Amino acid sequence: MASHLGDPRVVEFDVRTDEMLINMGPQHPSTHGVLRLALRTDGEIVSEATPHIGYLHRCAEKIGENLSHRQYIPYTDRMDYLAAMNMNLGWALVVEKLLKHEVPERGRHLRVLMAELNRIASHLVAMGTYGLDLGSFTPFLYAFRERERILDLFEEVCGARLTYSYITPGGATGDLTEGWLEKCEAFLDQLAPVIEEYHTLLTSNAVFIRRTAGIGVLSAEMAIDYGTSGPVLRGSGVDYDLRRDGDPWYTGLYRDYKYEVIVQKDGHYPKDRDYPPVPAEAVLGDSWHRFYVRMLEVVQSVELVRQAMERYRAAKGDCGAPLKLTQRLPKGEAYLETEAPRGQMGFFLVADGNAIPWRVRVRSSSFCNLSITHEVCRGCLIADVPAVIGSLDIVMGEIDR
């Protein structure tokens, strides 16, 4: 009997593997919030991963068109809630750029201090949650233990532990309190040896290396093409850091600071002589490198905070007062990107002469970083999807705005 594929009996007894469509998220433990990934899998192998975003869309841009620049600060807090200081700074700088308003020297160092301290906190969370994504729970709590101390410092200075609204256009809501610098110093002294511990638990852990090295490889060209930024871009070996290469309004903050951009050059990271060497399995641009860049940036930020404290002590005067709520913005537009922990965080502001902007646009770093998902998750295993997403270190609040 001749059989053909249309014959239902043939199909019934034919051993076929069907593709399976799986929803990863929005309520999934490792999608870092409310990201939804539609995975098309063949067994454990992911043939297609399509991210769906927007579950946390809070119309931040529309709200910006209805509030004064000063009132908008709390909304910037809620974008990247893990690095609210950096968000505040980004907004403050773009308003100041439009107004051509310079903050005093002391205020400048205060800002560096806060931004870098928040970068440490943010990278600690990134590290901890990455461990969590790979099934290692303990580093997460270690990371939060250190982060708590940073939050204590922030709380002392502005009263909030997550949404600081501290750095405002014109300066900051207040100066540092008495004895704050000593506490910060104590924290940094305590943090430095702990970083070794993290490297033992994760960076140089054999299982961790096997889970991350060579996974989610993002070439330098593709990284730039997709507009990725921050540790994701530098993890691919692109030497680009806005603190050095950005807009003068932003790089001005860091002038006369000494630091090296954390990127692999000539096969070496700036500080890898002190820390675990790059394993042989790792490929430039993979999840391990992204993670490693973040870890080294913590060290870099510690040094920057130390420098900032020193300069803050030396600087005279005040640190700048917040602009008035009704301070009119001159007609015009300004775009400014800052190097937030997750990458280049851009704010675009169009003003028509009122205190309320005509248009606010937020360029989110995680938004672009996430857009590579479908590219790097193609053909990997299901277990690699959290490993890749975690290494991008996304914050949905910032992506959906």
Partner 1 sequence: MAELINLQILNRLLGWAGVDLPPSHLAGAVLAALVHGVILLGIVAVAAMFFIWAERKVAGRIQDRLGPTRVGGRFGWLQALADGIKLLSKEDVRPREADALLFRCAPYVSFAASFTAYLALPFSDGWVAQHINSAVFFILAVLGLEVFGVILAGYASGSKWSLFGAMRESAQVVSYEVPLGLCVVVPVFICGTMNLVTIGNMQTGWLTNWLVFHDPFTFAVFWVYFTCAIASVNRAPFDLAEAESELVAGFHTEYSGMRWCYFFMAEYGSMLLVSGLATILFFGGWHGPVPVFDMLGWSSMGGVLQYVAELAGAANFLIKAVVGVTVMIWVRWTLPRLRIDQVMTTCLKYCTPLAAVCFLGALGWQTGMFGLAAGPLWSPNQLMAVKQRGEYRESWVLKAEAAAAAEGSAAQAGRPAASGDRDEPDVSGETEPARSSATGAVGSPLSRKGGVG
Partner 2 sequence: MDHQKLFDQLRERFGDDVRALVVETIDPWIEVSAERLEDVCRLLKNDAAWQFNLLNCITAVDYFEPDAKKAAKVDWKPHVQMLYHLSSTTLKHTVVIKVRLPRWKDDVAGQLPEVASVSGIWRTADWHEREVYDLMGVMFVGHPDLRRILCPEDWEGYPLRKDYVMPLEYHGIRNR
Residues in contact with partner 2 by CB under 8 A are 53-54, 57, 59, 61-62, 65, 97-98, 222, 224-228, 238, 240, 245, 247, 332-335, 337, 344, 346, 348, 350, 352, 358-359, 361, 363, 367-368, 371, 400-401
Least distance from C-beta 137 to partner 1, angstroms? 6
Region of 204-212, 297-305, 319-327, 368-376 interacting with partner 1 (CB under 8 A) = 204-212
Query: What DSSP state is assigned to residue 203?
Result: I
Measure the CA–CA gap between 185 and 177, rounded to whole angstroms. 14
Task: Let me know: does 45 contact 30? Beta carbons within 8 Å.
Answer: no
CB closer to partner 2 out of 96 and 146 = 96
Binding status of residue 382 toward partner 1 by CB under 8 A: yes
CB closer to partner 1 out of 44 and 185 = 44
CB atoms within 10 A of CB 256: 6
CB closer to partner 1 out of 22 and 59 = 22
CB closer to partner 2 out of 43 and 332 = 332
Partner from partner 2, partner 1, none contacting 361, C-beta within 5 to 8 A by type: partner 2
∠ Cα 299 304 305 (to 5°):
95
Strand 343-351 and strand 332-340: pairing?
Answer: antiparallel
Site for partner 1 in 28-67 (CB under 8 A): 28-30, 43-44
Task: Let me know: does 129 contact 390? Beta carbons within 8 Å.
Answer: yes
Least distance from C-beta 311 to partner 1, angstroms? 34
CB closer to partner 2 out of 24 and 99 = 99
| Nearest-10 Cα torsion for 316, 317, 323, 328 | -90
The sheet carrying 343-351 orders its strands as 332-340, 343-351, 359-363
Region of 107-115, 127-135, 281-289, 321-329 interacting with partner 1 (CB under 8 A) = 127-135
Options 38, 67, 181, 201; binder of partner 1; rule CB under 8 A: 201
CB closer to partner 2 out of 138 and 354 = 354
CB closer to partner 1 out of 200 and 326 = 200
Region of 46-54, 125-133, 293-301, 334-342 interacting with partner 1 (CB under 8 A) = 125-133
Strand 20-24 and strand 36-42: pairing?
Answer: antiparallel
221, burial (CB in 10 Å: exposed 0-12, middle 13-18, buried 19+): exposed
CA within 13 Å, CB half, 94: 30
Least distance from C-beta 333 to partner 2, angstroms? 7
Measure the CA–CA gap between 306 and 304, rounded to whole angstroms. 5
Partner from partner 1, partner 2, none contacting 363, C-beta within 5 to 8 A by type: partner 2
Options 151, 283, 321, 383; binder of partner 1; rule CB under 8 A: 383
Partner from partner 2, partner 1, none contacting 20, C-beta within 5 to 8 A by type: partner 1
CB atoms within 10 A of CB 139: 23
**Residue 314: C-alpha distances to residues 8, 180, 184, 256 (Å):** 84, 15, 16, 14
Task: Let me know: does 172 contact 92? Beta carbons within 8 Å.
Answer: no
CB closer to partner 1 out of 141 and 325 = 141
The residue type of 359 is R
Binding status of residue 122 toward partner 1 by CB under 8 A: no
CB closer to partner 1 out of 124 and 362 = 124
CB closer to partner 1 out of 23 and 326 = 23
The residue type of 25 is G
Q: Tokens 């507009």 belong to which residue? A: 227
Site for partner 1 in 206-235 (CB under 8 A): 207-208, 210-211
Measure the CA–CA gap between 376 and 59, rounded to whole angstroms. 29
Binding status of residue 384 toward partner 1 by CB under 8 A: yes
Region of 27-35, 104-112, 332-340, 353-361 interacting with partner 1 (CB under 8 A) = 27-35
Least distance from C-beta 241 to partner 1, angstroms? 29
State the DSSP string of 38-99.
EEEEETTEEEEEEEE--TT---HHHHHTTS-TTTTHHHHHTTSTTSHHHHHHHHHHHHHHHH
Instruction: Give the binding site for partner 1 (CB under 8 A).
Output: 20, 22, 28-30, 43-44, 131-138, 141-142, 145, 201-202, 205, 207-208, 210-211, 381-386
